[in-house]
Each structure stands twice: as C-alpha cells, then as structure tokens.
Structure 1
Amino acid sequence: MLDDEVRAQVLTALLVTQRHSWDQGLTAAVLDESGTAAPLRVLLDDAVARQLPDGRLAELDPLCSVNGGAVGEFVDLVAGRTGDEGLAAAAARQRAWLLSGAPRAGDGTLFHLVEGRQVWADTVYMAVPFLAATGAAVAALDQLDGHRTRLRDPDTGLWAARWDEDAGTFADPRAWGTGNGWVVAGLARTVRWLPGRRGVEVATEVRGLLDVVLPLRRPDGLLGDVLDDPASRSDPTVAAMFAWAALTGAGEGWLPAHCADVGCELLAAAVARLDPSGRVSGASAAPHFDRPGHSPEAQAFLLLADAAERRWRREHRRG
C-alpha cells in the first residue's frame, strides 16, 4: 500500500503527463475512485469539448477508432449522477459510434483503428465496459466473443496482440503483456455492469486469464512485456493491471479471496519500481510502447490497484 505522500506523487506524475483519449479514461477512473468530483468533472468537460463530430470522445488522434469509449463510461456515469443533459448527449454519441458508426468486421467485431482493418486486444478495455455500462449488454458480449475468437490462443489461453482481418492471420502474434492486461482489466470493469449469468461469464473469463498468466511471473515478482517469452523485459504496468483485476474481483466477491493475496504481491512488485518523482520506471514507454520508460497507463493502474488493495483490507478487517 502506498502512503499518502507517495500516492500524491504518483497522481501528480499522471496528471502532468501528456495523455491520449484512453489515458483520459484511466485518469477518470482514478479520480472517480478517489472521490474527487470537481477534477473529474473538469476532465470530462474537456473530453466532451474534444469530441469529434462522429462521437469519439477526447480524441486527438483521428486514426484511433475505439479509445474514446474508455472515458465514455465516466461521461455517462456522471451524467446519470448529475442529470447533465450535455454529458448524456455526449455519451450517447460515443455509444452510437461504437454500436454502428465505427469500422468493423463482417460479424460486427470492432477494428481498433479507422484504417487497417485490424482487431486489437486493447479494444476489449476501450469498448466492452462502456457498452455494458450503457445498457448494451448483448453488444458488449458480442465484442468480447469476436475479439476472443480471433485473439485468444485455445491452447495457452493467452491473447495475441493484433489480428489482420483481411489476411486472416495475426498482425502481431505475441502474447503482449499490456494487451493481455487490457483484456483482464477491461473485463474486470465489465463484471459490475452485467448481472446474472452474463456477469458470471465475464468473471469466468477473468479467472481463466489470471490462471494462465500468474504462473508466468518473473523472479522479480513482475510479468513480462511478452508474457511467455522469458527473454523479454519485465513490465510493471502489466503487474499493476493484473493486480487491479485480482483485487477488484476478490473485493467484489466474484473471484476467490486468495486472489487478493496475489494482487497484493503484484502491486508490491510494481511499487518497487517507483522512482523519486513518483513515476513507475521500466514500463512500456508511451507513446509507442516499444521500449522501457514511463506511461500514464502505469501511473493510473498503480493508483487503481492501490485503491483496490486499500478497499480490500478495509473489508477484510471488517469481516
């Protein structure tokens, strides 16, 4: 667990870093978790101000197709809390883009970019929770199924990074740690929005991915940039992503309690990578994620996992 001073450093490093649309979604999650309503509203107003005419929220890169959904979840959430019609309309435009406007394969599976007809693991985080949160449960599960069919290896259970729809083969077959992290974190966000058997289905997917990934932990307690390649570097972002999913599932009761212990271990390994400025060092570096460095994703998931750990410990003591 972080102390208050270090937590403030990590948050400051996140807030002063240049961020893309999906990072705005992660930052919104951090601010919502911490209960800081005023800064969250400022962020969401800015996401709406930067909404493209086709509905993509906070999007500064017109090649990105689905990433605005990450912040859309919080635009919709705060619209519901406040009754703000402007936020509600903006969330509806983002929803319509994902449901019908965005480029997609013949079976409806979303392409990650406007150009290129590629299916990416990242999209599971960007689109599935937002669709589930806004009542499009069937569409959310359809996206999970389309991405899973193309990207998840039936033998290992790991997810490849990218699929080329036209070539009918992988554009990037690696079990990229961050890509698998987007999947597990996106699905962990989704469970809360899907009651009954649908939620159980998604929770089972999270448990299955944890079960195949956790044995791949490194001696330093982290997970790899490429999960099943011991020669690849360790990446604390991936550890924080899986820590958050494990602690969230245990805290919400849809994962076994022992998953919290694993989440705490992963979080501690990621915290050990903090530098004196509060930055997570050795992460896949933004903006190209092709070398070790720093990223908003690493900052945000560390804070989210820390919050989930604190919540778990409070509930555990109460129990």
Structure 2
Amino acid sequence: MLDEETRRRVLCSLLVGQRHSWDQGLTAAVLDAAGEADALRALVDDAVARQLPDGRLAELDPACSVNGGVVGEFVDLVARRTGDAALSAAAGRQRDWLLRHAPRAADGTLFHLVGSREVWADTVFMVVPPLAAAGHADAALAQLDGHRSRLRRPDGLWRARWDDAAGRPADARAWGTGNGWVAAGLARTVGRLPTARGAAVAEEVRALLDACLAHRRPDGTLGDVLDDEASRPDPAVAAMLSYTASSGAAEGWLPGEYGAVGRSLLATAAASLDPLGRVAGVPAAPRFDRPGRSPEAQALLLLADAAALRPGRRRRPRSPRRG
C-alpha cells in the first residue's frame, strides 16, 4: 500500500491536472473512498454546472457520449445522501441520456462517441456500474451483453473497438487499458446486482482477470497491448487490475489469494511514480497516443490503494444454478 506522503502527492497531482468527464467521475470515486464529503459535494456541484442540455454531466468535449455516466453515479449518490432535489434531477437527466437518447446500435448497444458508430471497451466502465447502481440492472446487463458480443475474443481478452457500420473490429488488439476498463467496471458492478446475477458477473470478472494476468511479464508489468511482448509497459493497467483483484477479495466474490495479487499489482503501478507523485509511462492525456501522464492513472492508483486497504469478507455471492 502507499504511505501517507505518497498518497498525498498522488492526490495533489490528480487535483491540479485538467480533467475530462470520466476523470471527474474517477476523482469523485477517490474522494468518496477517502471520506472527503465536502470535496465530493464541491465536485458534483461543478459537474452539474457543466451539464450539457442533453444531460451529459461535466462534459467539456461534446464528441464524448457516455463518459459522464461515471460522475453521474456520484451526483446521484450525493443527492440521496443530502436530499438535494436539484442534484437528483441532474442525475436523472444523465441517466435519461444513457437510457434513451445517446447514440446506439439497433440492439441498443451504446456507441462511445457522438457521430461515430464505434463500440469501445471503455464504455463498459462508463455505463454498466452507474446503471446498476441506479437500479437499472436489466439495462446495465444489456450493455454488458452488447459490448461482450462485439469485443470479447475467443482467448477471453477484449478487443479495443468495434465498427458497427462495417460489422468488424476497428481495433482488434487486446489493448491493456481497454481490458482494464472492463475488469474494473465489472468489479464495480458485482455488488450492485441481485445476488445470482452478481455472482455470474463475478465469474466473468475472474475469467477476464486471469486472462489478463496470464500476460503479466517477469518484472510484474503488463503491456499496453497485453499479448504483445514488444509493447511498452503500462502502469495504469496494473492499477486497474489491482483495483479489480483487491475489490473482489475484499468483497468476497474472489478467493482471498487475489488480495495478494492486488497488492503485488499495486506495487508494480506505484513503482512508476515520479518525485511529484505522477504515474509515469501511461498513455498520455489528452490523446493517449504516447507514453506520459494522465489524471485517470492518478485516480486509478488511488482507487487501487483504497481497495487494498479494505477489510475482507468471508462470504461470497451464491453462484447461479447450472443446468
């Protein structure tokens, strides 16, 4: 786990960086995990101040269709905690965008960008946990089904992007961050579903986590492209998978030994920190086309650390009946 001074530096670097809508959602998750209620309230108020007329929260880039779903979860959370009707209405407008108005395929699967017919692995994190948290289990699992059918490969890893207009992959590589978004997003979903459905998702998370870990390198790192040994290491992937493993072990839907896996991955990600507390060598914001730094990597490291600190549970969700 991180020591207090390192944690402070990582958080400071997160808070001073320019952030997009999904980064605001991740930062909200960090603040909530740390019990920073006042800072969380300030963040969600700011997200609502920047809500687009169509309902997308904190959105500075109108090309992004689904990313406001992450911060919407926390606008809704603070609304329920405080009874604030304006926040509740803002969260409702974000949900309505995802459920009814956002661009989607004929089967309802959401496209990641406005003006594009591409399905991205990233979207699983952006929409499945918030919809499940809001009580829309059927809609959440329908999005998981639609994304899985297009993006999951026979080896259990996920493709990065699918071109729905062409009916073929737009990027068939097992992008590390894309697989990390799916794993971490589903980890956030397990406990928000009815028991049997949550147990089925937990099995899926474990299978994906194991498929990713099969490509962990001797030095503990994971690649920007998981099954390409020549690709550069990406510390953000280690943080995402650390969060997934530690969350599952703490919540009891993964065996306890995954807690050690999570801590090991956390150490791998933390080894990339520079003296200012910045996670170095991740896909660089804002274009993610070269090694550098990003707010999402800062937040993901802090979420992985918080998950590693959680006490474990003994009971696991009941597995669904087979046959």
Fold-level similarity (TM above 0.5): yes
Count of residues in correspondence between the two structures: 314
Distance 2:197 2:79 in 1: 25
TM-score, scaled relative to structure 1? 0.97
Q: Which residue of 1 aligns with 2:161?
A: 162
Q: What CA distance in whole angstroms lies between the structure 2 residues aligned with 1:148 and 1:311?
A: 30
- AA in 1 matched with 2:94: Q
SS in 1 for 2:189: helix
Q: Residues 74-111 of structure 1, C-alpha deviation per residue, up to 9 Å, x if partnerless? A: 11111111111011001100000000000000000000
List per-residue Cα deviations over 1:96-153 (Å, max 9, x = no partner). 0000000000000000001111000000000001110111100000000000000000
Task: Tell me what 1:288 maps to.
Answer: 287
- Whether contact under 8 Å (1:246, 1:259) holds in the other structure is yes
Q: Measure how far apart 1:191 and its partner are.
A: 1.0
Match of 2:75 in 1: 75
Offset at residue 217 of structure 1 (A): 0.6
CA contact (8 A) 1:260 1:312 kept: no
CA distance in 1, matches of 2:299, 2:146: 28
Correspondence for 1:55: 55
Report the secondary structure of 2:169's partner residue: strand
Residue 195 of structure 1 deviates from its aligned partner by 2.2
> 1:194-248 CA deviation, whole Å, 9 max, x = no partner?
1211111211111010111111111221111000000000000000000001000
TM-score normalised by length of structure 2: 0.96
Structure 1 distance, partners of 2:48, 2:266, is 33
Show the 5 A alignment for 1:213-292.
213-292=212-291
Alignment of 1:303-314 (within 5 A): 303-312=302-311
Alignment check: 8 A CA contact 1:25 1:71 kept: yes
Any idea what SS the aligned residue of 1:163 has?
Answer: strand
Unmatched segments (≥5 aa) in structure 1: none
Distance 2:201 2:85 in 1: 31
Deviation at 1:312, TM superposition (A): 3.7
AA of the residue aligned to 2:28: A
Distance in 1 separating the partners of 2:311 and 2:286: 32
Between 293-302 and 139-148, report the one with greater CA deviation: 293-302
Letter matched to residue 56 of structure 2: R
- CA deviation map 1:44-87 (0-9, x unaligned): 00000000011000001001000000101111111111111011
CA contact (8 A) 1:218 1:234 kept: no
Task: Name the structure 1 match of 2:113.
Answer: 113
Which residue type is aligned with residue 298 of structure 1? A
What does 1:4-43 correspond to in 2, within 5 Å?
A: 4-43=4-43
Cα contact 1:104–1:111 (8 A) shared by 2: yes
RMSD value over aligned CA atoms?
1.1
1:203 corresponds in structure 2 to: 202
Aligned-pair identity (%)? 71
